[in-house]
Amino acid sequence: MLLAVAASGQGVGYGDWQLHLPTSRPKQLADAGDRLYVATEYAFFVLNKSENTTQVLSRREGLSDVGVAALAYDSARQQTVVVYRNNNVDIIRRNGSVRNLNDILRKAIPGTREIFQVYINANRAYIAASFGIVELNLDKLEVSETYTNIGPNASQVRVYATTVGNGFIVAATSVGLLHARLSSNLLDYRNWTVRTPQLLQSNYDIYRSLATYAGNVYTVIEGGDLYRFDFSTGNWQILYGAYTFRVLRLRPSSTGLLIIDEPNGVRRYDRAGNFTQLISPAASGTNIQDAVRSKDGSYYIASYNDGLMQVFPGSTRAPERYTANGPETDKAFSVLADAHSNSVTIFTGGYSDRYNPLGRTQGFYEYKEGQWSNVTSARYPSTNSYPNPQEVSRGTRTPDGTLYVASYNNGLLEWKGPGQFRQFTSSTPGSPILNWGFPNTDRITDVAADEDGNVWVVNRHLRTGISGLLLFKPATSEWVRSPNFVGADNLDRIALDDNGFVWVSAARKANAGQRLGITVLDPATGNTRTFTTADGLPEGEIYDLVKDRDGNIWAATIKGVAVLYGSSGAFLPETVFQTPIVRRGEGSGFPVLFNEAVKAIAVDGGNRKWLGTDRGLWLFSDDAKEALLHFTMTNSPLPSNQIVDVEVNNKTGEVWVATNAGVVAYRGTATVTEGPPSCSKVFPNPVRPGFTGVVGISGVVNNALVKITDVAGHLVYSTKANGGTVEWNLNDSQGQRVRPGVYLVLTSDADGKNGCVSKVAVLSK
């Protein structure tokens, strides 16, 4: 098996997004000669055949959207037509440039807007959709017409596929097979004629596939045979010999018509009328979705279960498999971003909003140095390499880099790599972990590591009178159970503050007599205090707890957020949570997202707050009194508005966002500088003409004072760094774009120390 090398892209610019979606489960192919475009369940990538390299395509490469529904290659103009699930359309030219056609996306169309197929004939592309047919002019790159009411009596029909042959356009629809002369007025339903094979005629919706081969039009039905249209009689002729089960696609090739039958592989119908089993499922994987013939006689197969494969019929050469680097699944329950190791780990399992196991065993995956590594039972089938705990919910890293993984069914996993692990469950000698009352219910909801390398573990077990808050000391393998308090058996999230205090939230599904809210524990004294709505919380149902860079404790609740300033005074009666009021930006005059369930909070290098909700991702100022950004599927590449978790890699400034449809990263403009400032990383530099983004200078002293001058020393702009990064939009203090030239960025702390100078070159045209 051959693993294609992922092509390395340019650095992600500030304010840019990068999609980290699975590239497995291919569904559609478009052969562009030396390139093969692959649309998968989640992602879109291109294979360079000669170099055996793959590149995931997204907005970084100029695409306009995510979620490809259909694609086709226009060989005459050497361009690829890409239609997204939301009806947006991109034309990818051979030089890599992209032309967007958003007419269908913007058009008000009643009902569903599902896309099924795009077919190219001459200078036209026909998009088959649930609302009819959209015709694109590929020379003018514009929408020519939309045919919506072409069924009997001007009824609207679902169109699953189209093809052209002998001067006719043929459509497979929900009312059967329609055809009309291309030269006629296709807007007039009276020019469309229903011609459906007699067999199973009562079920018109079974016709889903069409293709033109050797001048003839063919169709097929599930559980039936192949049919050819006789234009002289206007009837369909049955071609016995290719009984099918579930045909997903018909594709013409230079050697015959390919019949892609999901469970039965690929068969070919040739000019002589012969059917040949071209590729069996055993040779090309299972659950075949698409297949194309390459010029060298090999075939590229899109196997939903086994990925993209290249097979060589009639040869002893073994199949080759290609995959672009990425996570194995789109499942994401939580994110761990660790600046020290400069790595990001995604955990897939966990529990529902009311703590029912999700039934996931997809493990976790880690991003480091631009590559994903997946830790799953599929990659490590031996339990001696990986024990495959169920419902891996969250994780933490100790200062030495060891990863500790919480499993909602199988306890705590200490992970140093394949074969280098320890697992602690209720049956492990010396382990205080308690199960739910029967095996494989050792439910760990959260973990947190302190500066000494000890790991706090939250064990939800519902045994009244026994605390579920545990401390594990890896150096000695010693366990300590914290003092009990009301509700200590039914906890969820955990955060550690700068005083050594431990903050834990009650599970949102309370026990009898338990007060929902947050409890703080001082391990040194055993003292605890519980905060409820009587202590400033807007609501007792808590989704997340974090400590910000000033040592304050922030809580994400089912009704907005709250903050406790000065955690050192947590046990003083006057210390309570407060609800910030937005003073600037969206939501001004109201508490922060007061009417929304905030699922996650992350703090960046500038102490700003990133909030995840079911309405997208928000960025607020450090005190949350100003709404700075709001990202949704409409204005960003987010694959979903339902944010599951958010974390910031403070080394790079990347904001990692887990949604219920996959993971993306946003290049933020705030980092944390550890050690002496370097001022060495300027991106982009030089700044080329036409650049419209922001320039970032990272590595400066945290929260530096910044002055930007020209080489003559004239002040151009002044600002303050977000943590260890300066962002500059290339405007002067009057908001005017600066002239081409070299500019100096002078930074220092508030005392004028730890200064450094960076140079930025702005080029002319």
What are the pLDDT digits (tens) for 525-536?
999 999 999 999
Map tokens 């958003």 to a residue. 102
Q: Is the pLDDT of residue 473 over 50?
A: yes
Q: Is the pLDDT of residue 203 over 70?
A: no
Q: How far is CA 394 from CA 1, 20, 336, 413, in A?
A: 33, 19, 8, 11
Which residues contact residue 203 at a Cβ distance below 8 angstroms, ignoring those fewer than 6 apart?
Answer: none
Q: Is the pLDDT of residue 9 over 50?
A: no
Closest CA relative to residue 42, chosen from 16, 69, 61 = 69
Q: What's the CATH class of domain 585-672?
A: mainly beta
- pLDDT tens, 361-376? 999 999 999 899 999 9
Written in H, E and C, the secondary structure of 471-539 is: EEECCCCEEEECCCCCCCCCEEEEEECCCCCEEEEECCCCCCCCCCCEEEEECCCCEEEEECHHHCCCC
The span from the CA of 98 to the CA of 394, in Å, is 39
The span from the CA of 286 to the CA of 441, in Å, is 34
What is the DSSP code string of 731-757?
Answer: B-TTSPBPPSEEEEEEEE-TTS-S-EE
Q: What is the pLDDT of residue 568?
A: 96
User: How far apart, in Å, do the first and last CA atoms of the chain sit?
Assistant: 48
pLDDT band at 2 (very low <50, low <70, confident <90, very high): very low
The ranges assigned to domains in the chain are 96-322, 336-481, 585-672, 681-762
- Angle formed at CA 223 by CA 220 and CA 226, multiple of 5 degrees: 25
DSSP 699: S
Return the sign of the alpha-carbon dihedral for residues 254, 257, 261, 265.
negative
Q: What is the pLDDT of residue 167?
A: 95
Q: At 533, phi and psi to the nearest 5?
A: -65, -25
The topology (CATH level 3) of 96-322 is: Methylamine Dehydrogenase; Chain H (2.130.10)
Q: How many CA atoms lie within 13 A of 53 on its CB side?
A: 7
Average pLDDT for 744-761: 90
Q: What is the pLDDT of residue 198?
A: 63
DSSP 592: T
Mean pLDDT, the chain, whole residue set = 92
Peptide bond into 538 cis (omega under 30): no
pLDDT above 90 coverage of the chain, percent: 75
Q: What is the pLDDT of residue 199?
A: 57
The β-bridge partners of 171 are 162, 178
The span from the CA of 756 to the CA of 744, in Å, is 10
Which amino acid, 541? E
Q: Is the pLDDT of residue 4 over 60?
A: no
pLDDT band at 305 (very low <50, low <70, confident <90, very high): confident
Alpha helices of 225-342 — where are they, by DSSP H? 281-284
Q: What is the pLDDT of residue 16?
A: 85
Q: At 572, phi and psi to the nearest 5?
A: -85, 135
- pLDDT tens, 552-566? 999 999 999 999 999
Contact between residue 565 and residue 578 where contact means Cβ atoms under 8 Å apart: yes
The span from the CA of 486 to the CA of 689, in Å, is 63
Q: Is the pLDDT of residue 216 over 70?
A: yes
- pLDDT tens, 583-613? 999 999 999 999 999 999 999 999 999 999 9
Map tokens 């099924």 to a residue. 116
- pLDDT tens, 32-60? 999 999 999 989 999 999 998 998 898 77
DSSP 103: H
The topology (CATH level 3) of 336-481 is: Methylamine Dehydrogenase; Chain H (2.130.10)
Return the sign of the alpha-carbon dihedral for residues 267, 268, 269, 274.
negative
Structure tokens at 756: 């450094």
Contact between residue 143 and residue 101 where contact means Cβ atoms under 8 Å apart: yes
- The answer to whether the 96-322 and 336-481 domains have the same CATH topology is yes
Burial of 104 (0-12, 13-18, 19+ CB in 10 A): buried
Contact between residue 109 and residue 132 where contact means Cβ atoms under 8 Å apart: no
Bridge-based pairing of strands 44-48 and 53-56 is antiparallel
Which residues contact residue 728 at a Cβ distance below 8 angstroms, ignoring those fewer than 6 apart?
Answer: 694, 695, 696, 697, 708, 717, 719, 745, 760
Structure tokens at 143: 């929408």
CB neighbours (10 Å) of residue 720?
12
Which residues contact residue 572 at a Cβ distance below 8 angstroms, ignoring those fewer than 6 apart?
Answer: none
- pTM for this structure? 0.85
The span from the CA of 14 to the CA of 618, in Å, is 17
Q: Is the pLDDT of residue 205 over 80?
A: no
Closest CA relative to residue 555, chosen from 484, 650, 490, 624 = 624
Map tokens 């891996």 to a residue. 392
Q: How far is CA 279 from CA 160, 268, 307, 312, 470, in A?
A: 25, 9, 16, 9, 57
Radius of gyration over alpha carbons of the chain, in Å?
30
Contact between residue 763 and residue 686 where contact means Cβ atoms under 8 Å apart: yes
Contact between residue 242 and residue 226 where contact means Cβ atoms under 8 Å apart: yes
The span from the CA of 349 to the CA of 332, in Å, is 7
Burial track 650-688 (b if 16+ CB lie within 10 A, e otherwise): bbbbbbbbbbebbbbbbbbbbbbbeeebebebbbbeebe
Burial of 122 (0-12, 13-18, 19+ CB in 10 A): exposed
DSSP 679: -
Q: What is the pLDDT of residue 202?
A: 55
Return the sign of the alpha-carbon dihedral for residues 282, 285, 309, 267.
positive
pLDDT above 70 coverage of the chain, percent: 96
What is the DSSP code string of 189-218?
Answer: GGG-EE---STTTT-GGGEEEEEEETTEEE
Q: What is the pLDDT of residue 6?
A: 42
Q: What's the CATH class of domain 681-762?
A: mainly beta
- pLDDT tens, 606-620? 999 999 999 999 999
The span from the CA of 54 to the CA of 708, in Å, is 41
